[in-house]
Chains A and B, each alone.
Chain A
């Protein structure tokens, strides 16, 4: 045996040793992975980055059903859905949570989900059940994408904050609004869809022309819009931001209270209630899931009272179950949106890409 060969053999042995060692030692908490195949006590929930739940609630699920939840975060909402479409038939997990009405058609047309009628569905508002006939998806939460305003700015200026989409195009609010690019951000897309819902196929472009002439600013992500450009947020104050209007969520004001340092008595921001587009998020059992039974149990649990009541303070969305009680933070600092703007998923699927394209040549160029 030559020198090099021996060195090679030694090195390969070391390599294998290292890999085995790390496989055993690294990534604590990953030891349950092996148990995923076959009859498993683990149920895997694939979701987007914004998924959050209390540890206690997930443990409660384990206590009730014997299944342990493993959460796999799969990028932002659209990215997560697209990944699920790509891995159709050989899914990464058992249940997908986070497909919303803007992406629903893509998921359903691709046949991602196995029909399953969840237990307790009768407690869920029928208006939110967009797949009532086939039960391929189950609504889990809803939220509203709305323009938020910086209360202090408008109080100082003795100016009434805008309430409707029409208001935003008025000269009084020139150069005040920052929005997200619908190509890259889901609140940005929601806001665009809201304008399409309000002004119709023919009218929304004219509205955006007015917004553009009124000095609307476009940035790529919610993070930048909210933390850097919006004067009402904590980050924005530090950055001395000067846009008092931003596209965010109806639930953002309670969150500002929750994470205030120190906690303010009243939210520093408000919601323009006439600008809201409703987003409904669904969960579904993935076709080809390794743990079908666990997946079904998990979907039942997601619309169960306990999880529904845990959601608002974790993901800042509203429960769909009628028996779920909202936390005080929401009842005190949140607003109820009576007439949100909505669009049918089929309509969105049909027009989405074309609308984004024409929006971008209209507003960005």
Chain B
């Protein structure tokens, strides 16, 4: 039974992920004389590679620590305090997570680079330093912590802590003994996700770090796309694979612990207005940090999208293909619709594949199925260039010669969307009581009807949230899209990158204007999500 449910997602991953990745890695490690596993040792022995490994690891650890430090208070405030504009704020902090790095890199350069705000105020420049990389990582991953930890925090019964205090525990002791252990696994899960995202960081490192800093991901790109040194790229891919697999195994373990340990309450009842100077100060501090780290970079983009007189000239220019001087065959604004179309198709695929996978994973899981769970997360940790080049050499024969068809874009985007769908749907699906379904069957409902009457209403919301996430992620996705983008079909991030690739004020202004539009579209999608989002059990 479960086998049938697993079939489609498994086939999807086999064809569009495992096979292409295996093909490109195989091309690197196999020669006419057969497999060359000796290469692994040779590559790993190079001092250069060790430098890259070391930098990748320590910057990811530092980024994770910094993100937790900044975002945990935010998670607390958004979970436990009630204040006007909270929903909007939750959407705002999520916007960075789905913005493409081309856009974010530009915003951060504008802030931290020469002539940036910091430079103007205090003469401090952070571009090409590791600080720029770390701050941008906080910017990107703030939402991961807020959503993972905050979502759970809102559902912890505050009375447990109060009870401990009545029994004589100090405020800190009560928090340490009651709340912290309950939150621990969620914090660990969030930390691992952030670690995963920062370990595989590419755009941020390349744009903000300059040539001196290199992560594994950036090095895989260089070895594959620029040097065509496939053996080295293959070994590095395997190293990244191993690291990511370890992180995912840890993640699966912490998630499992969380699911079994807690009794949760309705989040609506746990939030209240801040009381006392301390709580107000905390709220103020969190709002200030969000304003500085998240809103300011976004604001800089908006400011630069306006022309010299503060007008909308750059936006108007987006409507004509002529003004883009042949950069595109179509008006740049058309990219908005292209992006929406691709994102919709990708969402449909991700929801179907991820939904089926989540349904399969719902049943009491054996080891095999749990392994499948982790497998579905792998695309988040494997480099886009590996997957992209894999597509090129693997999907080149009918019936799977998809390399020059548009469907490849949504397929690649769906690979990234599926993990989000699974993570959102799984907890909700697991909460549906099987006895309800059985009761419906006893009362004479057909299985389909039972599913429609019992499961669907409970799952619908989660499905919408999952779809929204997949949609936003697809909208901002850059790596896979740029790979197969056609001149007449640029997506938003691709269009931004192309405009930035040419000189001239008008091109620069249009790039900023398009980035702003992308930001607004993402924010709108996320705000809609907030409206439907009631069940906060989802992990993101």
Contact with B along A57-90 (1 / 0, CB 8 A): 0100000000000111111001100110111001
Residues on the B chain within 8 Å of A315, using CB: 326
Question: Which among A46-54, A124-132, A193-201 touches the partner chain?
Answer: A46-54
- Docked Cα-Cα span, A173 to B345, in Å, equals 54
Q: Is the CB of B115 within 8 A of A240?
A: yes
Q: Which of B113, B114, B307, B503 has the most CB of A within 10 A?
A: B503
Q: Is the CB of A11 within 8 A of B356?
A: yes
Q: Is the CB of B486 within 8 A of A72?
A: yes
Q: Is the CB of B500 within 8 A of A90?
A: no
Interface size class of A (residues with CB under 8 A): 35 or more
CB distance from A94 to the nearest CB of B (A): 11
Q: Which of A30, A70, A183, A259 has the most CB of B within 10 A?
A: A259
- Docked Cα-Cα span, A85 to B229, in Å, equals 12
Q: Is the CB of B115 within 8 A of A86?
A: no
Residues on the A chain within 8 Å of B249, using CB: none
Q: Is the CB of B329 within 8 A of A55?
A: yes
Question: Which among B255-263, B445-453, B514-522 touches the partner chain?
Answer: B445-453
CB distance from B326 to the nearest CB of A (A): 4
Q: Is the CB of B403 within 8 A of A92?
A: yes
Contact with A along B448-471 (1 / 0, CB 8 A): 101100000000000000000000
CB distance from B88 to the nearest CB of A (A): 29
Residues on the B chain within 8 Å of A85, using CB: 228
Q: Is the CB of A220 within 8 A of B206?
A: yes
Q: Is the CB of B505 within 8 A of A259?
A: yes
Q: Is the CB of B321 within 8 A of A55?
A: yes
Residues on the B chain within 8 Å of A86, using CB: 27, 228, 389, 392-393
CB distance from A61 to the nearest CB of B (A): 13
Q: Is residue A18 within 8 Å, beta carbon to beta carbon, of the partner chain?
A: yes
- Docked Cα-Cα span, A195 to B211, in Å, equals 20
Q: Is the CB of A6 within 8 A of B489?
A: no
- Docked Cα-Cα span, A14 to B448, in Å, equals 13
The chain B residue sitting closest to A74, CB to CB, is B483
Question: Which among A152-160, A161-169, A250-258, A298-306 touches the partner chain?
Answer: A250-258
Q: Is the CB of A234 within 8 A of B504?
A: yes
Residues on the A chain within 8 Å of B349, using CB: 18-19, 22
Q: Is residue A29 within 8 Å, beta carbon to beta carbon, of the partner chain?
A: yes
Q: Is the CB of B345 within 8 A of A27?
A: yes
Q: Which of A49, A54, A58, A315 has the most CB of B within 10 A?
A: A49
Residues on the B chain within 8 Å of A92, using CB: 392, 403-404
Q: Is residue B336 within 8 Å, beta carbon to beta carbon, of the partner chain?
A: no
CB distance from B51 to the nearest CB of A (A): 10
Interface size class of B (residues with CB under 8 A): 35 or more
Interface hits, A302-321 → B, CB 8 Å: 313-315
Q: Is the CB of A234 within 8 A of B359?
A: no
If the complex has contacts A49-B501, A218-B210, are A15 and B113 also in contact, measured as CB distance less than 8 A? no
Q: Is the CB of A255 within 8 A of B403?
A: no
A28, A87, A222, A240: the one contacting B501 at CB < 8 Å is: A222
CB distance from A333 to the nearest CB of B (A): 12
Residues on the B chain within 8 Å of A218, using CB: 210-211
- Docked Cα-Cα span, A68 to B483, in Å, equals 22
Q: Is residue B158 within 8 Å, beta carbon to beta carbon, of the partner chain?
A: no
Given contacts A27-B489, A52-B326, A92-B404, 13 further A-B contacts (CB under 8 A): A4-B2, A15-B353, A18-B348, A19-B352, A22-B349, A26-B341, A72-B487, A82-B225, A218-B210, A221-B206, A228-B109, A240-B119, A260-B504
Interface hits, B274-333 → A, CB 8 Å: 304, 307-308, 313, 321, 325-329
A18, A73, A228, A259: the one contacting B504 at CB < 8 Å is: A259
Query: Can you list 28 contacts pairing A with B, beta carbon distance less than 8 Å?
Result: A2-B447, A3-B450, A8-B4, A11-B356, A14-B352, A18-B349, A26-B410, A27-B341, A29-B488, A36-B404, A37-B398, A52-B487, A55-B321, A70-B486, A73-B486, A79-B226, A83-B392, A86-B392, A93-B404, A106-B228, A183-B211, A184-B211, A219-B210, A221-B207, A258-B504, A259-B504, A259-B507, A260-B504
Q: Is residue A239 within 8 Å, beta carbon to beta carbon, of the partner chain?
A: yes
Residues on the A chain within 8 Å of B483, using CB: 74-75
CB distance from A186 to the nearest CB of B (A): 10
A11, A14, A79, A224: the one contacting B225 at CB < 8 Å is: A79
Q: Which of B2, B304, B342, B487 has the most CB of A within 10 A?
A: B487
Q: Is the CB of A75 within 8 A of B407?
A: no
Q: Is residue A233 within 8 Å, beta carbon to beta carbon, of the partner chain?
A: yes
Q: Is the CB of A29 within 8 A of B489?
A: yes
CB distance from B136 to the nearest CB of A (A): 14
A21, A26, A313: the one contacting B406 at CB < 8 Å is: A26
CB distance from B23 to the nearest CB of A (A): 10
CB distance from B268 to the nearest CB of A (A): 31
- Docked Cα-Cα span, A239 to B313, in Å, equals 19
Q: Is the CB of A71 within 8 A of B326?
A: no
CB distance from A258 to the nearest CB of B (A): 7
Q: Is the CB of A22 within 8 A of B326?
A: no
Q: What is the number of contacts between chain A and chain B, taking CB atoms within 8 Å?
A: 237
Contact with A along B349-393 (1 / 0, CB 8 A): 100110110010000000000000000000000000000010011
Interface hits, B1-48 → A, CB 8 Å: 1-2, 4-5, 7-8, 27
- Docked Cα-Cα span, A52 to B207, in Å, equals 25
The 9 closest A-B pairs by CB, nearest first: A259-B504, A240-B115, A234-B505, A27-B406, A314-B326, A71-B487, A3-B447, A15-B352, A52-B326
Q: Is the CB of B211 within 8 A of A219?
A: yes
Residues on the B chain within 8 Å of A279, using CB: none
Q: Is the CB of A239 within 8 A of B405?
A: no
CB distance from A250 to the nearest CB of B (A): 12
A29, A75, A223: the one contacting B482 at CB < 8 Å is: A75
- Docked Cα-Cα span, A74 to B391, in Å, equals 13
The chain B residue sitting closest to A51, CB to CB, is B487
CB distance from B498 to the nearest CB of A (A): 6
Q: Is residue B397 within 8 Å, beta carbon to beta carbon, of the partner chain?
A: yes
The chain B residue sitting closest to A58, CB to CB, is B329
Q: Is residue B508 within 8 Å, beta carbon to beta carbon, of the partner chain?
A: yes
Interface hits, B83-132 → A, CB 8 Å: 109-110, 113-116, 119-120, 128
Q: Is residue A364 within 8 Å, beta carbon to beta carbon, of the partner chain?
A: yes
CB distance from A171 to the nearest CB of B (A): 22
Q: Is residue A324 within 8 Å, beta carbon to beta carbon, of the partner chain?
A: no
If the complex has contacts A83-B389, A256-B504, are A183 and B397 also in contact, measured as CB distance less than 8 A? no
Q: Is residue B441 within 8 Å, beta carbon to beta carbon, of the partner chain?
A: yes
Residues on the A chain within 8 Å of B348, using CB: 18-19, 21-22
Residues on the B chain within 8 Å of A15, using CB: 8, 352-353, 356
- Docked Cα-Cα span, A203 to B506, in Å, equals 41
Q: Is residue A347 within 8 Å, beta carbon to beta carbon, of the partner chain?
A: no
Q: Is the CB of B225 within 8 A of A75?
A: yes
If the complex has contacts A3-B437, A36-B404, are A82 and B345 also in contact, measured as CB distance less than 8 A? no
